[in-house]
Amino acid sequence: MTPNSLDEIEQLFEAVLLLPKGECTAYLKSQTSSKEIINEVLELLQAHNDLGGFLTEPLSIEDDFILICPDLSGRLVNVWQVSHQIGQGGMGRVYLAHRADGEYEQTVAFKVVEYKAFNNAAFLKERQILADLEHPNIVSLLDAGTLQEGYPYLIMEYIDGLSIDDWVKQSKELTSEERILLFVKLCKVVQSAHDHGIIHCDLKPSNIYISNDGALKLLDFGIAQSLHDVNATKSDKAESFSFTPEYSSPNRHQHKFPTIQDDIFSLGIIFAQLLTGKTPIMQRSDEIAQPDSKAIAKQIDDIELQAMFLAMTGANNSATHYRSMAELIDDFGFYQNNFPLKALGDNFTYRAKKHLQRNWRRWLSALVIISLLITGGVRHWKTQKIKKDSELIREILSAQVSDTDASLEQQSGMTPTRKKLMMSMVQQLEKLVKNSSNNIQLTKMLADTYNRLGVVTGSPYVLSMGNIPESRRYQYKALALYEKIQRQRKDSLAAHNDISRVKREIAKLYAADNDTKRMREYYAETLQEMEKAYRDQPLKKQHTLAIVYIVGAHGEMHLGNLKYSQQLLDQATKILQALDVREHKVNYEIETRFIKEETAHILLLKSDLNAAKAIYTALLEKKLKNNHWRLVRSHVRVNTALGCIYLQKQQQQIALQYFKQARKFATKLSNKYPAVESLSKALQHYETLDKASSEELSSIMFCTEPRKFMMPLTRR
Amino acid sequence: MSVAHNVTNSPNTIAPINELKDVELTPTIYPELKRLASYHMFKERSGHTITPTVLVNEAYIKLVKGNRLKAVDRHHFLAISSRCMRQILVDYSRERNAQKRGGSERVLTLNEELAESDQQKSIDVIQLDNALKKLEERDLVQVQIVELRFFSGMTNKEIADLLGISVATIKRKWAMAKAWLYREMS
């Protein structure tokens, strides 16, 4: 069309606007002969009649202009030189930036908040929480401010690495155990944020990075809310939050206020993705599709992992829905150690199956015993009826616990499981005791279990988790309970024994902390306790007290309190001399021998070589009346001590004879107990004996540190 | 307005839009408008409506009266500003659409506000922009009127003053442009 015809159209268009509808065509035909122009004008007229409010109101910025910050590439903001955009999230874009003031080299992520319903107060609070958190697996906040355009910005640690899903994809060879371990690690990070009152609200693979040096990093606490806030407002409706449909719970899809369980839900979806390598299956209910938990669950083959996934997403029922990260992490621990999962609830058959998986050896032997009982001795079983039922049940339970614990102790790496077992026992018993606080048997069971829990948590001389302060807390609990029992049964010897045992344990814990003062306080109390208990008993019944003295003497000797150690030994001797020898055959021999040996050790430590040598030699002259392992071990020590004494006297040949003698007994012991690792390990020391020089002998046999071969007297 | 009397160019000789694109003023005015827009968005949040006219006026005061731009007549400034506003809003729409599509395969956090305002809005700014580009080939003045009215919120009288055309002509061209764009876009 020519410019002229365009002008013509415009003129005609204006004219027909004023005409009644029916007259337009006739009018146009009277004005022009061009059918093209007539059609154009009529079409425009039709459009004019149809357009309603089209373009009538100027574009209003409030409606349509949602924040887009100008491209910041190349801009210098404060000390940060922005380089280029590297990502875009729910709250805005992320740029790579460098520190530009020459202070030091630093590459950072520069994050601009482009979000209309942005709450500045919440943002400021979040900045503070992030700064306070300082968690090595949560990206740290380095700086923050406001651009001249009004957009807030955050400077975060820049993570050079891969998002968790890409990382897993890249490391194809990961086993499912490794995937689970990675996930548990992630859970622990989230847990510590929860402990600080922060919910992430937007957990998804692209917010979880594995840096090039292998560290797990959680980013984008973009919309994290303070837990305390949720409690304070109690509002059911969130103002307006961003969320990622693929990883968001139904609760978040309904715009309800975020909770811990929303994070757990997101973790569930991530968990499934890590296991299966597949992105979440979605279902469309209304406009925004939601993750389809039940369909996703079907992709997970392992029944237990599937149950845990469902318990994370709360898809099956509310009873198994995890309420905290701790519950979730616990279940992973149970999963790894074949304990029943919380996620699978109270299904008896399932629990029994797990029990069998854990303890199949014990069950096998139990079956053998039961069949023997049935064939051979039903009569014997009946005599048990004499005992009161409740007493019997308690005994069976206690035996069950100590059996289970003992058998678990034999297996390597079971210490955490033992602790969990004790922990859940304690929780159950606490409930029972609460309901019947006067039941001494229950209270005693609880105290025993606390004592056991304490030992496995951190007792220094046995297999334990090594957490001394926590262990001490449990021992104090046990102590309080034993003392309560003692108040109810004033004359109970057993109660005194229990108290003494716990205090001794507490003393050991303080010793491990190098808190000698408290250690001795508790040991002194142990002694008092025992003395109180046995004061009115005849000497010949004070055998247990004698052992306490000997143990105390040994401890004091190790601390270097040789004089006090000797006093304790004298006390023990006094008791032992009064004992009826026929009644305590083996023990008498062992304990009197130990007292002598200990006395000799003290003399050796005092460098009174001749006096020590006399006692040691006398000990060897007595032939061993039995082969109890404690006596054999004593022979190893005494021969070693004598060897060291002769070595110091420069009589190497005689020294070597004693050392070989020590080796003989050690070998004998190791052959008898082949499963005990420490014994076979000790033999290695003697291997180079024959060819060693005097100095070498001294170091092989620990002559320079005699306390090392003076083994602890306590028996595990 | 007194500024209007300082006009150096005759209104009828206003530069054609294609040339305006490359005018050196645009790089100064565009970011300033954008900055002002976002600044207002942050300062006055919910319930507050900010009109493009206010932004353009503010930008004028800041840039011209603040002597950051020299010797720019107001008409010229407003014409460029309207063009900038159009560009800003088109840029925004593009970016928003990109965001909605998710850009790459990466899952993005969905911004509920985006989803909601999307439904209410009936005008597709990008589609309008494309239609305007076609209209440019027919009638540049119509395009300018659309920019000044729709993207900058000016009245017919203001536009008439600015372009040196009668209000009647503005009305006619505006009606014509609307009908043409509507047909083009539907």
Place of tokens 């408008």: B33
Residue A630's alpha-carbon distances to A579, A684, B38, in angstroms, are 20, 20, 84
Minimum distance, in Å, between the CA of residue A71 and any CA atom of chain B: 10
Ramachandran region of residue A452, left (φ > 0), alpha (ψ -120 to 50) or beta?
A: alpha
More confident residue, A585 or A598: A598
Chain B interface, best mutation among A12, A17, A39, A61, by max B CB count within 10 A: A61
Over B106-147, what HEC string results? CCCCECHHHHHHHHHCCCCHHHHHHHHHHHHHHCHHHHHHHH
- Assess A658–B contact: CB distance below 8 Å, yes or no: no
Task: Work out the burial of residue A160: count CB atoms within 10 Å of its CB; fewer than 13 is exposed, 13-18 middle, 19 or more buried.
Answer: exposed
Q: Measure the CA–CA gap between A258 and A237, rounded to whole angstroms.
A: 9
Q: Which residues of A touch B178 (CB under 8 A)?
A: 48, 51, 54-55
Q: Which helix (H) or strand (E) holds A68?
A: none
What are the pLDDT digits (tens) for A402-427?
655 665 555 545 667 777 777 877 88
Among the partner-chain residues B43, B96, B183, the one whose CB lies closest to the CB of A44 is: B183
Give the best-scoring range by mean pLDDT among A62-66, A676-680, B47-51, B167-171. B167-171
Contact list in B for residue A45 (CB cut-off 8 A) is 179
What value does the mean pLDDT of chain B take?
Answer: 70
Q: Around Cβ A2, how many Cβ atoms within 10 Å?
A: 7
| Yes or no, beta carbons of B172 and A14 under 8 Å apart | yes
**Which residue of chain B comes nearest to A42, CA vs CA?**
B179
Contact A68 B172 (CB under 8 A): no
Nearest residue on chain A to B31, alpha-carbon basis? A70
A93 pLDDT higher than 70: yes
With CB atoms and an 8 Å threshold, state whether B153 touches A59: yes
Task: Say yes or no for a CB contact (<8 Å) between A61 and B51.
Answer: yes
pLDDT confidence tier of residue A676, bands split at 50, 70 and 90? low
> Where along chain B do its domains lie?
17-181
Pairing mode, if any, of strands A198-199 and A225-226? antiparallel
CB < 8 Å to A63, chain B: 49, 117, 120-121
**Sheet strand arrangement including A161-163:** A161-163, A208-211, A216-218
Q: Name residues whose C-beta falls within 8 Å of residue A253's C-beta, 6 or more positions apart in sequence.
A: A243, A245, A288, A290
* Residue in chain B nearest A244 by alpha carbon: B109
* Per-residue model confidence (pLDDT) at position A266: 94
DSSP letters spanning A215-276: -EEE---TT-EEHHHHHHH--SB-S---B-GGG--HHHHTTBPP-HHHHHHHHHHHHHHHHH
Residue B160 has pLDDT above 70, yes or no: yes
Selecting from B92, B115, B179 the residue whose C-beta is nearest the C-beta of A44 gives B179
Q: What is the mean pLDDT of residues A303-321?
A: 84
Per-residue confidence at A433, pLDDT binned at 50, 70, 90?
confident
Q: Is A47 on the interface with B (CB under 8 A)?
A: yes
CA distance B13 to chain A (A): 18
With CB atoms and an 8 Å threshold, state whether B108 touches A116. Answer: no
Q: Which residue of A has its CA nearest to B185?
A: A47
Give the highest mean pLDDT range of A41-45, A221-225, A687-691: A41-45
Topology (CATH) of A161-339: Transferase(Phosphotransferase); domain 1 (1.10.510)
Quick one: fold of A69-130+139-157?
A: Phosphorylase Kinase; domain 1 (3.30.200)
pLDDT in tens, A96-141: 999 888 777 788 999 887 755 556 666 666 667 767 777 889 887 7
Q: Does A18 touch chain B (CB under 8 A)?
A: no
CB contacts of A204 in chain B (<8 Å) are: 107, 109
Contacts of B138 in chain A (CB under 8 A): 1, 6
* Per-residue model confidence (pLDDT) at position A343: 72
Percentage of chain A with pLDDT > 90?
A: 12
Interface pTM, i.e. ipTM:
0.74
Q: Which of B29, B111, B140 to mutate to test the interface with A (most CBs of A within 10 A)?
A: B111
Helix (H, G, I), strand (E, B) or coil at B78: helix
